[in-house]
């Protein structure tokens, strides 16, 4: 199945869910792109009114390696995942901000071999934004077991004219760059947004946990994969409201081999 067909089906689902009168969650069946991408989609109708005056659902997409991914074609999997993330999130954000482009590059030492000769997409470039809001981007890794683990976040936060409401769209992931023969027995990945200010409120999907009160709220998305090497999380239409908002995004990944666990985190923050 071509990726644009999956994108089209996803956006069609958005229209259907937007028309629902009460909160609901739709779990999409597994879809594959050349059997490389395993895509799990959750669409949650939250009732939040977006910039177009209609309810816009929160969309969470988790991308994992499909059944045909081998050590030799992991680079192709990453190219396909980058293309899917860029196209999906770009199409969603471009309804109001056509200048948006999503940076997805994992930064590695020059001497480090990328899996499957992975090369970043030519069409993916750094953010080029003139609208109000914030750009959050961070990528951090450490050397482990003769290779590397890292985590990346890339988020565009858009504000309305009064600077009291914000919508976040982006992606985050955790990745092991080593051999398939030494894949971790478990990866646990958490993507967290902490927002402080006055009268703080949030509107997120069913897969997120929410904590805090009127001056500080935290939302977190967590998933665990056994015997894998990457977890990617695409998210859109996360809603935040309040006065004098400050946002901090952090990704934390724990990679476990047997009884040994290594942790890596990345974070960025901005006033909204």
Burial grade of 206 (CB within 10 A; 0-12, 13-18, 19 or more): middle
Sequence-ordered alpha helix ranges (H) in the chain: 3-18, 74-93
Nearest CA to 60 out of 170, 213, 203, 212 is that of 170
Which domains can be identified in the chain, with CATH numbers? 3-271 (2.60.40.1650)
User: pLDDT digit string (tens) for 4-59?
Assistant: 444 444 444 443 333 333 333 333 334 445 578 888 888 887 655 554 445 578 88
Residue 155 vs residue 161, higher pLDDT: 155
Q: Max alpha carbon distance in the chain (Å)?
A: 54
User: pLDDT digit string (tens) for 52-74?
Assistant: 445 578 888 899 998 888 888 88
Please, are residues 174 and 189 in contact by the beta-carbon 8 Å criterion?
Answer: yes
CA distances (Å), origin 114, targets 71, 106, 149, 176, 253: 11, 10, 12, 11, 19
d(CA 269, CA 137): 9
């Amino acid at each position: 199945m071509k990726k644009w067909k999956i994108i089209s089906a996803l956006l069609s689902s958005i229209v259907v869910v937007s028309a629902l009168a009460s909160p609901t969650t739709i779990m999409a069946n597994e879809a594959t792109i050349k059997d490389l991408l395993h895509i799990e989609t959750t669409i949650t109708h939250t009732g939040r009114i977006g910039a177009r005056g209609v309810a816009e659902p929160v969309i969470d997409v988790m991308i994992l390696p499909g059944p045909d991914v081998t050590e030799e074609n992991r680079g192709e999997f990453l190219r396909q995942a980058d293309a899917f993330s860029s196209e999906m999130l770009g199409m969603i954000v471009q309804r109001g901000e056509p200048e948006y482009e999503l940076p997805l590059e994992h930064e590695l030492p020059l001497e480090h071999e990328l899996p499957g000769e992975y090369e970043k997409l030519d069409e993916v470039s750094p953010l080029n934004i003139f609208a109000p809001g914030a750009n959050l981007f961070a990528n951090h890794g450490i050397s482990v077991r003769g290779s590397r683990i890292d985590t990346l976040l890339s988020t565009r936060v858009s504000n309305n004219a009064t600077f009291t409401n914000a919508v976040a769209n982006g992606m985050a992931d955790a990745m092991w760059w080593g051999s398939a023969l030494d894949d971790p027995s478990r990866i646990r990945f958490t993507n967290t947004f902490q927002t402080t200010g006055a009268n703080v409120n949030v509107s997120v999907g069913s897969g997120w946990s929410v904590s805090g009160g009127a001056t500080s709220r935290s939302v977190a998305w967590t998933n665990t994969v056994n015997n894998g090497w990457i977890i990617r999380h695409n998210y859109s239409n996360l809603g935040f409201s309040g006065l004098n908002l400050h946002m901090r995004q952090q990704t934390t990944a724990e990679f476990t081999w047997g009884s040994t666990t290594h942790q890596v985190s990345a974070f960025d923050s901005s006033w909204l």
